[in-house]
Structure 1
Amino acid sequence: MFALTFPPLGHIVDWPGFAGTEGQLYEINKVVLVYAFGVALTLLVFILGNKKQLVPSGAQNLAEISVEFIEEQIVAPTIGTDLKGKGWAPFMLSLFFFIFFTNIFEVIPFIQMPASARIALPMLLALTCYVIYHGAGFKEHGPGYIKHALVPPGVPVALLLLVVPIEFVSKFLVQPFSHTVRLFANLLAGHILLVTFAVLSAALWNASWTVVFLPLPAFAMVFFVAFEVLVSFLQAYVFTLLAGVYIGSAVSHEH
């Protein structure tokens, strides 16, 4: 028999600080380091995309393709293709790449921690989007934004007593919560999955005859690492796409 000891959940997502004072806001740990890498790499995308070269380099081509992807696959279908819609592209680009880079560190050796597995980051990003899209709505419609947000077009007057409270709860209370949890839950679940198979592989390796079963969790871990790379991209895309949908809905003139 062999002992399989799974680390407590708090140990999976909580990392001791290596700089600053423990428990203080300015304490620096692995998660804060991932935040810093995410910011730096996102800035690098803008720097590479803004280089003025007659013949773009490979890195610059990648940056330009990324910008086109955000404009064509997120901004255009959710906010619009006019100048006002394209004005949201830098924000969407920043949001997408920051989330992607902080996610992808889940599979980077020696770090192996997605910052989005700590709810603080998804919550901050969701609340930032919440303020931005409602602020954009009030800027576009003035006080009439309340009616724009709560009264869907074509709803009979008799149903407004039912529809308006539902729209209020959905758009002003549930949206930031669901926006947060979707990103947080997916990255936390993937992180726990990878830790589970890593612990299982280590336990089988250190055991006696059970080492013959080691290839099973080892192969599964390779598969789930590749899967989490896809999840890192998809969750960044979905979060940014939803932000675009919310902004587009707030500034639209369909009513």
Structure 2
Amino acid sequence: MNLLALVAATDDGGFHGPSIDEFFPPAIFLAGTPFEINRIILIRFLVVIAIVLIFWLGTRRMKVVPGRFQSVVEMGLDFARVNIAEDLLGKKDGRRFLPLITTILILVFSFNITGVIPFLNISGNATIGMPLVLAIVAWIAFIYAGLRKHPGAFFKNALFPPGVPWPLYIIVTPIELVSTFILRPITLTLRLLMNMIVGHLLLVLFFSATSFFLFTATQTSIFYGLFGVGTIAFGFVFTLFEILVAVLQAYVFALLTTVYIQLALADEH
């Protein structure tokens, strides 16, 4: 039996590649109700509990000379404050929107990293619900910032940019409407969602192939064990890559949220 035929086999213990069904796991609790809880929802609950516990333990007894655990918590908070919020918005507006930006950064990273944690093995952002909620929150913050700073001119200047000859508004206004108020939450959602979906599928593919080559295909020929060594090596490399992606996607999501708020606060509005 050649390699392609062997890998394509799906019966009698054959290879089973990842499928989209993995992102729609069966219900664990409250099946058939609007409050149905499946594996991904449960992971989200666990992540939120872990975040609350970590920050409670890290901040309940703050010391002038912080211990190791307090230092790690403060490092994460300072990163959001210094490198994102205050860097783009300045100290005044940066501190005003810091709770939102920090929450988005920590939530996105925490939900992302579950994709490489043993026994969880899927990102809490691997289905559209959470990325969409976070994107809508970012979009609402953008609208709020603009209306608060420019209550009478925000929508007018966003849809009818000053200095454009009025006949061109026939073309410019629909473009600004779509790009500013519709595409932003959509692109935020899809960028995060698709990265988590693709990452999960790749990891499942590599480690499923490893199991197949090492424990099933070797019954046909010991030669196939070499492919198992290769797939587990690729799986390890992509696990490290997924950790990097988890960090970068959290940073990009928080950064873009801050950039949108900065644009809403700009004086030209």
User: By how many angstroms is 1:49 displaced?
Assistant: 4.5
Q: In the alignment, does 2:150 pair up with 1:141? A: yes
Gaps of 5+ in 2: 10-14
Calculate the TM-score normalised by the size of structure 1. Answer: 0.91
The residue that corresponds to 1:6 in the other structure is: 17
Mean CA deviation greater in 239-248 or 40-49: 40-49
Does the CA contact (< 8 Å) of 1:42 and 1:94 recur in 2? no
Mapping 1:41-120, distance limit 5 Å: 41-44=50-53, 46-47=55-56, 48-49=58-59, 51-78=61-88, 80-120=89-129
Calculate the TM-score normalised by the size of structure 2. Answer: 0.87
What is the alpha-carbon root mean square deviation over aligned residues? 1.8
Question: 1:17 is matched by which residue type in structure 2?
Answer: A
Deviations 1:127-179 (A, max 9, x none): 12212211221122113111232234544445333222211110111111111
Question: 1:234 is matched by which residue type in structure 2?
Answer: L
Change in Cα spacing, 1:151 to 1:45, as seen in structure 2 (3 Å) is: farther
SS in structure 2 of the partner of residue 95 of structure 1 = helix
Mean CA deviation greater in 188-197 or 152-161: 152-161
Q: In the alignment, does 2:253 pair up with 1:226? A: no
Change in Cα spacing, 1:5 to 1:52, as seen in structure 2 (3 Å) is: closer
**Matched residues, percent identical?**
33
Deviations 1:87-109 (A, max 9, x none): 11111111111111111000011
Deviations 1:70-89 (A, max 9, x none): 112211233x2232221111
Question: 1:109 is matched by which residue type in structure 2?
Answer: P
Mapping 1:210-221, distance limit 5 Å: 210-221=224-235
Question: 2:184 is matched by which residue type in structure 1?
Answer: Q
Mean CA deviation greater in 188-197 or 23-32: 23-32
Counterpart CA distance in 2 for 1:244 and 1:167 is 19
Question: 1:26 is matched by which residue type in structure 2?
Answer: F
Q: In the alignment, does 2:28 pair up with 1:18? A: yes
Change in Cα spacing, 1:221 to 1:6, as seen in structure 2 (3 Å) is: same
Gaps of 5+ in 1: none
Question: 1:137 is matched by which residue type in structure 2?
Answer: G
User: By how many angstroms is 1:7 displaced?
Assistant: 4.2
SS in structure 2 of the partner of residue 18 of structure 1 = strand
Mapping 1:121-160, distance limit 5 Å: 121-160=130-169
Counterpart CA distance in 2 for 1:155 and 1:49 is 52
User: By how many angstroms is 1:50 displaced?
Assistant: 6.3
Counterpart CA distance in 2 for 1:42 and 1:152 is 42
Counterpart CA distance in 1 for 2:61 and 2:164 is 50
The residue that corresponds to 2:191 in the other structure is: 182
Counterpart CA distance in 2 for 1:192 and 1:132 is 33
User: By how many angstroms is 1:45 displaced?
Assistant: 5.2
Does the CA contact (< 8 Å) of 1:35 and 1:102 recur in 2? yes
SS in structure 1 of the partner of residue 28 of structure 2 = coil
Q: In the alignment, does 2:38 pair up with 1:29? A: yes
Counterpart CA distance in 2 for 1:81 and 1:195 is 43
Does the CA contact (< 8 Å) of 1:41 and 1:101 recur in 2? no
The residue that corresponds to 1:204 in the other structure is: 213
Does the CA contact (< 8 Å) of 2:122 and 2:200 recur in 1? yes
Q: How many residue pairs were aligned?
A: 252
Question: 2:138 is matched by which residue type in structure 1?
Answer: C
Counterpart CA distance in 2 for 1:200 and 1:51 is 48
State which structure, 1 or 2, has the greater radius of gyration over its C-alpha atoms.
2
Mean CA deviation greater in 89-98 or 38-47: 38-47
User: By how many angstroms is 1:193 displaced?
Assistant: 0.5
Question: 2:91 is matched by which residue type in structure 1?
Answer: D
